Structure 1
Amino acid sequence: MKKLPNYLATAIWILALGLFCNDLNAQRRGGGPAPRPSGGLSSVTGGIVGQNEHLSRNRRSLRFSFGDRGDAGKAVMSSAEMMRMQEASRERAMSWLTKQQKEDGYWEHTHGRVAHTGMAILCYLSNGDLPADHTNNGKALSKGLAWLLTQIRDNGALQDGDRMYGQAIGTLALSEAYSLTKDPAYGKPLDDLINVFLKTQNPETGGWRYYGYPTDKKSDTSVTGWVVMAIQSAKMAGVKIPEELSEKNEVFLKHVSTGKAGGIYGYTAGKAKPSTTSIGMYCQQLMGTRKGKRQDESASYLNMHRPDPKHSHQVVGCGKYHYWFYGTYAMYLHGGRSWADWDDKLHPALIKYQETDGHWKSEGPHAKKTGDVIATCWAIMALNAKYRCLPILNPKAGGSSSDSNKPSEG
């Protein structure tokens, strides 16, 4: 029998592996996270791993997976060299992040221990790590989650120096951890945590700001984006969400939107920016809005401002990594050519700007308040997006969006 050419044999192997990964992901979506045997279970491939095996080995199979949301999951084929660079970049970044953890289990570079720790937890989960893993990453994650649980007050408040940011990011971290592990310790406080958002949502315009209503009379896209992520993640985890939360969020997003199809978003109202448009687009996707003219307008606008390793970037607000994080999640879920064009530029750009020790520098007008830990977390989560480890990248609970039961626009 004539031997197949190497390139053809490799292509067949890649296709088979992609279909295998899709089947495992479909099984997990249908019945929730698979139970973890004593030897450990990879949250990415579902395969049993040894207690000391590094999960990055299992994640490698997803490099060629064609995804689990149709066009949204189609991974962009990278060269072998780029793949090796991505793996090295990710490992340096995770190693740096682990070294920043404090003895008590939290992270803090500037202010806001809860927000810092929540972001770090999300990075480990997006990396395919779980708290039961017998690895350095798994141990750091477990320690971080344990610390975060101690910060919840009797009334469900999880706020510290970053106020509503801490409440939202901390809630999101616990919700994602619960969805992936089904550990009741992470799921038990979710009802109380979500109730805080109900009490602090602006009753007229929807949305949230730094302290929440009634202290803040206005809402902004930045804080609201994190709250929407937390709410939808909790909904996917089985928490009953009051309809008014989602309905008022639709009101807020409409209030800050511009563009012919309403797909360009501002901070509070008025002038739109790429960063706030990426947040608005992702919120619409999480709330169940189907593809149509509005999302196409958002995607076109973001791709006009996509990452580019060959050109300098205008640094505004929290800097490019904040924008690239949200933009990557939104474009990934949008899928198709828009995602392919974005992803082609994202990884070379992130690798170019990464420091040799693995972190990314905070930048922009808010650099001192943001800090390198948060900037690095944004970059890591963008790097890991195509691996689909986070449930929030596989929204299935839908929302109350008025478009969710309609045919797609246009």
Structure 2
Amino acid sequence: MPGISCVTADEPGKGLHASTGMEDPPDFTVIPDTQWHAIEQSVDRGIRYMLDRQNADGSFGVHELEQPAVTSLVCMALISRGHAPDESNTASGASRAIVRGIDYVLSRQRKDGLLGHSPQSLASSEYSKFMIYNHAICGMFLAEVYGMTNPKRAKRIELSMNKALSFVRVLQKRSIPAAAEARDRGGWRYLDGPTHGDFYSDLSVTSWIVMFLRSAENAGFDVPIEWAQQAIAYVLRCYDERSGAFSYAPGHPHMVTRGMVGAGVLCLFLTGHKEPEMEQRCGQWLLKHPYDRYNHKLSTHEHYHYGAYYQSQAALQIGGRTWEQFYPRFVDTFLTHQNGDGSWEPELKRPELGRVYTTAMSVLALTPPYQLLPIYQR
């Protein structure tokens, strides 16, 4: 981006890339071959369920408002199992579905760079809230597929990504009241003001945008170090020393959830910000709050499948004992409760999002060990 000093991936310890990694790699042998086979079968059944429900315009999902994000999650779930975008005569149904998903997401960009917008979605009272999730998740998806597509489509993605990244920075630099500046600067939240509480940033939105930025940098886009530094400073303020876990926003320990603990840990690893004590305490917290009861919320703030997605990734990044004790139990819960048609039940907190959404999140939560989706890689 002209006028901004950018840091590339070739500079160790800077930008969003970790200078070291794999200090405590996960031991995949704790999963016996029979369980790996069961995981693969489960994932493939979930994928078949989702493919049968792609809409005529290439989208996935029930409602206009959240379809861009759900489409992106479904397509990333397909990629996490080894499917790649391809529209040739010999391409599989999954590969063609990803291409149609890419074109759909590209069609939903506003002139200012916002991804996920449509005139119809403006009518929703939750436009501001859902649209920032659309933007971050769609941006992450486009970055993940950027190097997998033909030159013509890659050029379209490149133009879209540059606008989407600029939009992210505009939001990060938005005006914040002086009283909230020290608490909320560096993170992101909804498109409008603090109409849902007094927050101007939250860890839920911020973590998705951090993943988008890391994925963009992986794909070769320039992400200035200032963006990363400000984002991770906000994430660190969300850490609650008392509980040894991350909360939804700074100073709100009652809003610690499994999803936010996983999101905070993941942000640390994705930005190369080594905090061994934080990681260890979060790993201990994670193991004390397992996914043994399917679709069970620990609090009113929790989204079950959303949290499972983040905790599975976080456990893999922490590695060692944390992953070895978390993942096998987690797998048993999810495989046991998969429906006969390959789906998983709707989210208790947001049932209107339907089963395609929870199936995509469940597949993404099961597949980090495959290390096929670039954002998953340690």
TM-score by length of 1: 0.74
| Alpha-carbon distance, 1:324 to partner | 1.2
Give the structure 2 partner of residue 380 of structure 1.
Answer: 363
Instruction: Write out aligned runs for 1:184-223 (5 A).
Output: 184-185=154-155, 186-201=157-172, 204=181, 205-211=185-191, 218-223=200-205
Alignment pair present for 1:242 and 2:224: yes
Give the structure 2 partner of residue 267 of structure 1.
Answer: 248
Q: How many residues align?
A: 328
| Whole-angstrom CA distance in 1 between matches of 2:107 and 2:165 | 17
Q: Which amino acid aligns with 1:266?
A: S
Do the aligned partners of residues 129 and 69 (structure 1) sit closer, same or farther apart at CA in structure 2, a change above 3 Å counting?
farther
Give the structure 1 partner of residue 344 of structure 2.
Answer: 360
| Whole-angstrom CA distance in 2 between matches of 1:317 and 1:357 | 29
| Whole-angstrom CA distance in 1 between matches of 2:329 and 2:271 | 28
CA contact (8 A) 2:259 2:302 kept: no
Give the structure 2 partner of residue 342 of structure 1.
Answer: 326
SS of residue matched to 1:101: coil
Give the structure 2 partner of residue 146 of structure 1.
Answer: 103
CA contact (8 A) 2:257 2:299 kept: no
Give the structure 2 partner of residue 15 of structure 1.
Answer: none
Q: Which amino acid aligns with 2:356?
A: V
Q: Which amino acid aligns with 1:274?
A: R
Pick aligned residue for 1:176 from 135, 140, 144: 144
Alignment pair present for 1:84 and 2:84: no
SS of residue matched to 2:285: helix
Unaligned runs of 5+ residues in structure 2 are 1-8, 11-20, 118-126, 175-180
| Alpha-carbon distance, 1:263 to partner | 4.8
| Whole-angstrom CA distance in 2 between matches of 1:290 and 1:147 | 38
| Alpha-carbon distance, 1:71 to partner | 3.5
| Whole-angstrom CA distance in 2 between matches of 1:202 and 1:296 | 32
Alignment pair present for 1:116 and 2:60: no
| Whole-angstrom CA distance in 2 between matches of 1:87 and 1:394 | 19
Unaligned runs of 5+ residues in structure 1 are 1-28, 31-67, 396-410
| Whole-angstrom CA distance in 2 between matches of 1:197 and 1:121 | 22
Give the structure 2 partner of residue 41 of structure 1.
Answer: none
Question: Which is higher, the Rg of structure 1 or of structure 2?
Answer: 1
| Whole-angstrom CA distance in 2 between matches of 1:143 and 1:311 | 31
CA contact (8 A) 1:315 1:363 kept: no
SS of residue matched to 1:358: coil
CA contact (8 A) 1:119 1:169 kept: yes
| Whole-angstrom CA distance in 1 between matches of 2:240 and 2:173 | 21
Residue by residue over 1:308-337, the C-alpha shift from the partner in whole angstroms, topping out at 9 and shown as x without a partner, is 269966464453221111001111011111
| Whole-angstrom CA distance in 2 between matches of 1:71 and 1:386 | 14
Pick aligned residue for 1:231 from 198, 202, 213: 213
CA contact (8 A) 2:245 2:281 kept: yes
SS of residue matched to 1:355: coil
CA contact (8 A) 2:295 2:348 kept: no
Do the aligned partners of residues 310 and 245 (structure 1) sit closer, same or farther apart at CA in structure 2, a change above 3 Å counting?
closer
Do the aligned partners of residues 364 and 112 (structure 1) sit closer, same or farther apart at CA in structure 2, a change above 3 Å counting?
same
| Alpha-carbon distance, 1:82 to partner | 2.0
Do the aligned partners of residues 393 and 179 (structure 1) sit closer, same or farther apart at CA in structure 2, a change above 3 Å counting?
farther
Instruction: Write out aligned runs for 1:97-112 (5 A).
Output: 97-110=50-63, 111-112=65-66
| Alpha-carbon distance, 1:131 to partner | 0.8
Larger RCO (CA under 8 A, 6+ residues apart): 2
| Alpha-carbon distance, 1:70 to partner | 5.8
RMSD after superposition:
2.6
Q: Which amino acid aligns with 1:121?
A: C
Select between 328-337 and 158-167 the one with higher mean Cα deviation: 158-167
| Alpha-carbon distance, 1:202 to partner | 5.6
| Alpha-carbon distance, 1:221 to partner | 1.2
Select between 379-388 and 271-280 the one with higher mean Cα deviation: 271-280
